[in-house]
Amino acid sequence: MSPASSGGEPGGATAESELVGELLAGKHRALARVISKIEDRAPGYRDIVSELHRHTGHAEVIGVTGSPGAGKSTLVDKLAKAYRDRGETVGIIAVDPSSPFTGGAVLGDRIRMGSNVGDMDVFVRSMSARGTLGGLSTATADAVKALDAFGKDKVIIETVGAGQNEVDVVRTADTVCVLVQPGSGDDVQMLKAGILEIGDVFVLNKADMDGAERTVAELEEMIHMRENPAANLATGHHGPVDEDEMAEVAIDDADGEAWDPEVVETVATAGEGIDDLLEALAAHRTWLEESGALSTKARDRYAEEIRQLLRSDAASLLEEELDERGGVDALAERVVDRETDPYSVAAEVIGPVADCVRDERE
């Protein structure tokens, strides 16, 4: 364990190892404590996640996102119950990037997930930004690792909205399920800007409402346009289609390797369509495993996680260097007085750090 991450407290490493041992032994209190440490970025949390890593890689991770009001929490509740009926254990992480408090989210999520109240094999946890800024996706990924190491068969990540923060978070899943509701033309248009390209299964929830058929048709048309970029040529909304990209799509289709997203209709409140959704999720999992895409996604996900951790650590190191130089405000004041300029300040601050890295490399 690295001294930097253990918090420097005597016996800290032992306490963290004991906590990991309790989690691996199936103690729910230890699981809750670990996720709290992860969310709070408490001293030693990195050592805990590092220890847990070798025990991960077994859970199926499903992301559920979409517009507010689409019924995500109710659907997740029914999914969890269906998996429990099959004898599988479930972990649920409800993510609220906008809320500064976790407490407010927990109650609402548990009310909407009433089917699994009292079932110890369904672990529900809400997480919020709480000052983590761009690190929320990393915190979520770490929480998933904790649930995976704990032994959960399925881990479901639910986000409250469909903004960029939610897209980043849900990318930590193997399979992404996007929800919309009937008559949500604006929502469907919104999907073009962010979530359409990451959806593996699209769910029209509240399919008993008016406008369901039209919304399904809109979704299927958008999926077709995603799979066949040439279909966009006449819309005037996009530039010329890249010929190499078109060729790659054609090759994938010819080899049968491309995944064709499904549109599933559900009425979550009544439990209708849940079996169809389970089949669609299982089909995507099978495709991931047989095509090799599962390992590719894992590699890409870890590569991005490494980059994000390095960016975060480098930023913290540079903040320390700025403080040693009197703080960024003092440096900015010098720029205002024309004693120096932003580029020179940046070079002065990063210079010693860069020299240390290069010396270590050599």
Higher pLDDT among residues 203 and 257, named by residue: 203
Share the mean pLDDT of the chain: 81
pLDDT interval class at 172 (50, 70, 90): confident
Question: With pLDDT > 90 as the criterion, what percentage of the chain qualifies?
Answer: 51
Question: How would you classify residue 170: left for phi > 0, otherwise alpha for psi between -120 and 50, otherwise beta?
Answer: alpha
Residue whose C-alpha is closest to residue 68's, from 184, 220, 156, 172: 184
Q: Which domains are delineated in the chain?
A: 1-55 (no CATH), 57-291 (3.40.50.300), 309-361 (no CATH)
Report d(CA 215, CA 207) in Å as an integer.
Answer: 9
Residue 361: its pLDDT value, please? Answer: 86
In whole angstroms, what is the distance from residue 186 CA to residue 173 CA?
A: 26
Rg of the Cα atoms in the chain: 23
Instruction: Tell me what percent of the residues of the chain surpass a pLDDT of 70.
Output: 75
Contact 124, 116 (CB under 8 A): yes
Sequence-separated (6 or more) residues with CB below 8 Å from residue 188: 180, 215, 218, 219, 222
Q: State the pLDDT at residue 167.
A: 74
Indicate if the pLDDT at residue 184 is higher than 90.
Answer: no
Give the mean pLDDT of 207-224: 85
pLDDT of residue 6: 41
pLDDT per position as a tens digit, 79-105: 999 999 999 999 999 987 665 444 444
Q: Which two tokens stand for residue 302?
A: 């870890």
Most confident stretch, 66-75, 210-219, 307-316: 307-316
Give the Cα separation of 98 and 130 in Å (integer): 9
Would you give the DSSP letter of residue 200? S
Q: What local confidence, expressed as pLDDT, does residue 199 receive? A: 87
pLDDT exceeds cutoff 90 at 24: yes
Angle of CA points 62, 64, 70, to nearest 5°:
155
Per-residue pLDDT of 104-141, as tens digits, reads 444 344 445 566 667 789 999 988 755 454 567 889 99
- Scan for tokens 């130089």, then name that residue: 325
Element (H, E) at 125: strand 122-128
Give the mean pLDDT of 301-312: 91
Three-state secondary-structure class, residue 121: coil
